[in-house]
Amino acid sequence: MNLLGEYTNGNYGVKIFGDGTKVRENDLDNLTPSFPENIDIKITDYCDRGCPFCHENSTVKGVHGDILNQDFIKTLSPFTELALGGGNPIDHPDLVEFLKELKERKIIANVTVNQKHFIESKPFIDYLVSEKLIYGLGVSVTEVTDELISLLQENPNIVIHVIYGVIEESELKKLYNKGLKVLILGYKIFRRGETWYNKHDDIFEVNSNWMFTELPEMAKHFRVVSFDNLAIRQLEVKRLMSEKKWNDFYMGDDGQYTMYIDMVKKEFASSSTSTQRLTVTDDIVDMFNIVRNQN
């Protein structure tokens, strides 16, 4: 496990390793940052998938963000992680140039794509990985095939994204015992996600009840199981561990060490589902302080 970077943020030190492992540490009883460790960035609203539960409402009419001319990028600290998404981020025509700029600034870029785009664009994604333009790769999965599993196994830094209440038992079990990493996302009853939920609450009920019960067993069948904050609440993940373990494991509320920026609409917020949004400024620290004060 090689060390990618080491830095000081506020009153604590951070180490980040080649497999994504991150360690925050100090001798105090609190970890208080000065700038965001992770930023979720929406770079496009364009997507041809039309997923019925997409909380971003992305479509083929969606536009790309102006990602090469936003000054706040110059104020990011080295080894900040960016989770680039959309829409379909790999359809953005300026993606490679943007990633090269981030690499020069020692920013760790991670990208999330849909499984269809992952398969279709595998050579391009392989290029981004081999050039170290991206490190983590999220792949949103709803239907599991042997071809998909084989491709997912090629890169140890791939994390499979599944949505609580959407992924079916039969599909998730196909991924068991394949040495894979999974990120469970909470279900966002937001935009198209609300429409899908209202139409398919019976399906949601079956899928979510199964995962809630299965979770402790499920965890044994993946190399790593991870959660976003919404999934932690919906799945009551805290029931799985002691208070001490929870304190070591829980990486913070939305907006505590993280924030969200929509480069299409030029807005920022604590997370992608926050309705408290403000216009992007040219300084990441200023924006982060506003987000933290909102919390």
Partner 1 sequence: MKQIRVGVFETNSSSTHSLTIVSEEDYEKWKAGELLLDTDKEELVPFPKDYVKKEETEDNNDEYFEDGDGVLKTYEQWLDTEKEDYFGKFTTKSGDEVVAFGKYGYDG
Task: Write out the binding residues for partner 1, residues 23-82 only, by CB under 8 A.
Answer: 23-31, 37-38, 40, 81
> Rounded to whole angstroms, what are the CA distances from 235 to 93, 172, 176, 216?
38, 16, 19, 11
Closest distance of CB 185 from partner 1, Å = 7
> Rounded to whole angstroms, what are the CA distances from 154 to 2, 40, 114?
19, 25, 17
Cα–Cα distance, 162 to 148 (Å, whole number) = 14
Closest distance of CB 258 from partner 1, Å = 5
Within residues 274-293, the interface with partner 1 by CB under 8 A covers none
Question: Is the CB of residue 126 less than 8 Å from the CB of residue 113?
Answer: no
Cα–Cα distance, 255 to 251 (Å, whole number) = 11
- Specify the residue, 196 or 257, whose C-beta has the smaller distance to partner 1: 257
Cα–Cα distance, 131 to 143 (Å, whole number) = 29
Total residues binding partner 1 (CB under 8 A) = 76
Within residues 218-277, the interface with partner 1 by CB under 8 A covers 219-220, 222-230, 232, 237, 240-242, 245, 247-254, 256-258, 260, 271-273
Distance of CA 239 to the CA centre of its chain: 23
10 binds partner 1 (CB under 8 A): no
- Specify the residue, 122 or 245, whose C-beta has the smaller distance to partner 1: 245
Closest distance of CB 39 from partner 1, Å = 9
Element containing residue 5 per DSSP (H, E) = strand 3-9
Cα–Cα distance, 137 to 83 (Å, whole number) = 9
- Specify the residue, 19 or 283, whose C-beta has the smaller distance to partner 1: 19
Closest distance of CB 140 from partner 1, Å = 10
Joined tokens for residue 191:
């935009």
Closest distance of CB 108 from partner 1, Å = 7
Binding mask 131-170 for partner 1 (x = CB under 8 A): ----xxxx-----------------xx-x-x---------
Closest distance of CB 286 from partner 1, Å = 20
Name which position in 166, 183, 211, 235 contacts partner 1 (CB under 8 A): 183
Within residues 186-205, the interface with partner 1 by CB under 8 A covers none
22 binds partner 1 (CB under 8 A): yes
Cα–Cα distance, 132 to 144 (Å, whole number) = 27
Crossing angle (nearest 10°) for helices 192-199 and 201-218: 100
